[in-house]
Amino acid sequence: MKAQTKQKLKRNATGYAFILPLILYFVVFQLAPMLIALVISFTNYSLEHLTDYTFVGFENFIELFTNSVKYPMFWSSLKTTFFYILLTVPANIILALVVSALLNSKIKGEKFFKTVFYIPSVTVGVAIMVMWQQMLAPDGLINQLFGTNVDFLNNESTALVVFAFMSIWGGLGYNVLIMLSAMKNIDPAMYEAAEIDGAGAVQKFLYITVPGVMPTVFFFLVTGLISGFQVGEQMLIIYGDTTMVQSVYTYVYGLYYTMRRSCDYATASAMSYFLFVIILIITLIQFRVQNGRPKFIQKLIDRRKKGGELVEKV
């Protein structure tokens, strides 16, 4: 008996010894920060109250949501972030689908194209920003090419679009890699069956390719949403802490402002947690969609199916 428990003890000890760094890291750099931030978001810990901070309850959150004098950009920053997601996520998916489909047709040079598209992914982010900043300047490459004179980055109506474009440009390589390998997993016999049935290239794409990579599309949707909500670093690099351009003021950009400029750590913590909640909700929705719908939605769908005749899809 004793020897058995001794062995068991030794096994457990060894196991934990191996994951000790992980546990330590987890406690110090995951758990503790989250707890501290949580607590602080209920205080008024900021530059003015570094030592004499007090517990203020939900005041920080309420101020964020309601006080449009103190936080004029709060809701508009959420709208901007939302708008950015609308610009990037569908475009990313469609572009990845189309480019991957083109690369998947029997052409030479697939490896070459994949490499070229992937170059931005291995270019230092700041360097890419420097490059684009100069390209988008009034006398930069883009304007030279089109003979126009638009200051893209400082123009309210173009700025956000341009950031979306940069993000799509930079992400294409990675997206294509993922999408292409998903496409290659589709059983070629299905294309052959469709070929014999008389399907043309477009039809094969719509009826076989797209449905076949649906899981990947879903993956892009979810990751696109999650990283879309966190957009802000690009703006930070280009404009610094503050910007005159209102249309690029995203939620996270506001977070940076609050952190660096006003040093209002309490509010920043509150904003961080709010972001956390949003992302958590998205993740939960994703989980649900992948693993089954809640019962009441399923009943609605069944009722509709039984009522109708065979629905034809052309």
Partner 1 sequence: MKKSEVAKLHFPRRFSAGTVAKKTVVYVVLIALCLAFIVPYLWMIVTSLRTEMAYNSTGFTLLPIDEYGNISFHFENYSEAFSALDLGTVFLNTMIVCVVNTVANLFLNSLAAYAFARLKFFGRNSVFRVCLFSMMVPGTVMLVPNYLICDFLGITDSLTALIMPFLMSIYNIFLLRQQFLGVDKEIEEAAKIEGAGVFRIYFRIVLPLVKPMLIVLGITTFMWNYSNYLWPYIVNTDPALRTLSTSLAELMGADYDLTVKLAGAVIVSAPMIIIFFVLQKFIIGGTMAGAVKG
Partner 2 sequence: MAKVSLRHIYKVYDGKVKAVSDFNLEVEDKEFIVFVGPSGCGKSTTLRMVAGLEEITAGELWIGDTLCNHVEAKNRNISMVFQNYALFPNMSVYDNMAFGLRMHKVPREEIDKRVKGAADILGITEYLNRKPKALSGGQRQRVALGRAIVREPSVFLFDEPLSNLDAKLRAKMRTEITRLHKRLQSTFIYVTHDQVEAMTMGDRIVVMKDGFIQQTDTPQNLFRWPANKFVAGFIGTPQMNFFSATLTRRSDGSVEARTKGFTLVIPAEHTYRLDEKYLGGDVTVTMGIRPDDIKPVSRAAPGAQICASVALVEELGTQTLIYANTDEGQLMNENSDTAFCASAGENTGITAGSTVEFEVDTSKLHFFDEQTELSIKRRIPDVTVGAQVKGGRVFMLGGALALPPVLASELGEGSYDAEIPSRALSFAGEGVSGRVEETEELGKGRYLSRVLCGNDRVFVVGDSPLSVGDKVCVSVAFEKISFLRGREEVISAIPGEMKLNGTYVRLKEGREKNHYIVAGGVKIPSPMDFNQKMYDRGRSIFKRKLSFGIDPAAASLGEEGVPVTVDKVLDYGSAKYAIVSLGDGKLCVALEGPVPADPHIKLNFDSIKVYDSDIDMRLF
Within residues 150-209, the interface with partner 1 by CB under 8 A covers: 169, 174, 177-178, 181-182, 201
Cβ 262 vs Cβ 268: under 8 Å: no
Angle, CA 174 vertex, CA 171 and CA 177 arms, to 5°: 140
263 binds partner 1 (CB under 8 A): no
138 Cβ neighbours under 8 A, 6+ residues apart: 149, 150, 151
Measured in residues, the chain has a length of 314
Return the structure tokens found at 217: 């599309």
Pick 196 or 202: Cβ nearer partner 1: 202
Residue from the set 198, 295, 303, 307 that interacts with partner 2 by CB under 8 A: 198
Name the residue type at position 266.
A
Q: How far from chain centre, in Å, is Cα 108?
A: 33
Return the structure tokens found at 31: 């758990």
Q: Which among 85-93, 101-109, 190-198, 293-301 is the span making contact with partner 1, rule CB under 8 A? A: 101-109
Q: Which among 58-66, 86-94, 271-279, 305-313 is the span making contact with partner 1, rule CB under 8 A? A: 271-279
96 binds partner 1 (CB under 8 A): no
**Rounded to the nearest 5°, which phi and psi values hold at 55?**
-75, 125
127 binds partner 1 (CB under 8 A): yes
**Rounded to the nearest 5°, which phi and psi values hold at 136?**
-90, 0
Pick 139 or 312: Cβ nearer partner 2: 312
Give the separation between CA 30 and CA 13, rounded to whole angstroms. 23
Q: Which of residues 208-227 bind partner 2 (CB under 8 A)?
A: 208, 211-212, 214
29 binds partner 1 (CB under 8 A): yes
Token pair 């109506």 is found at 157
> Which DSSP letter does residue 259 get?
I
Q: Which among 10-18, 54-62, 292-300, 301-309 is the span making contact with partner 1, rule CB under 8 A? A: 10-18
Q: Which among 63-71, 76-84, 114-122, 148-156 is the span making contact with partner 1, rule CB under 8 A? A: 114-122
211 binds partner 1 (CB under 8 A): no
DSSP bridge partners of 230: none
Q: Which of residues 44-83 bind partner 1 (CB under 8 A)?
A: none
Interaction pattern, residues 218-247, with partner 1; x per rule: CB under 8 A: xx------xx--x-xx--xxx-x-------
CB of 112 to partner 1, least distance (A): 8
97 Cβ neighbours under 8 A, 6+ residues apart: 179, 209, 210, 213, 217
CB of 202 to partner 2, least distance (A): 11
CB of 96 to partner 2, least distance (A): 19
**Rounded to the nearest 5°, which phi and psi values hold at 23?**
-60, -45
Residue from the set 122, 310, 311, 314 that interacts with partner 1 by CB under 8 A: 122
Interaction pattern, residues 166-195, with partner 2; x per rule: CB under 8 A: ---------------------x-xx-xxxx
CA-based nearest residue to 57, from 70, 72, 69, 40: 40
- Residue 38's alpha-carbon distances to 31, 45, 261, 275, in angstroms, are 11, 12, 21, 13
135 Cβ neighbours under 8 A, 6+ residues apart: 141, 142
199 binds partner 2 (CB under 8 A): yes
DSSP bridge partners of 43: 55
Pick 88 or 209: Cβ nearer partner 2: 209
Q: How far from chain centre, in Å, is Cα 231?
A: 8
287 binds partner 1 (CB under 8 A): no
244 binds partner 2 (CB under 8 A): no
Where on the chain is the footprint of partner 2 (CB under 8 A)? Answer: 187, 189-190, 192-200, 203, 207-208, 211-212, 214, 310, 312-314
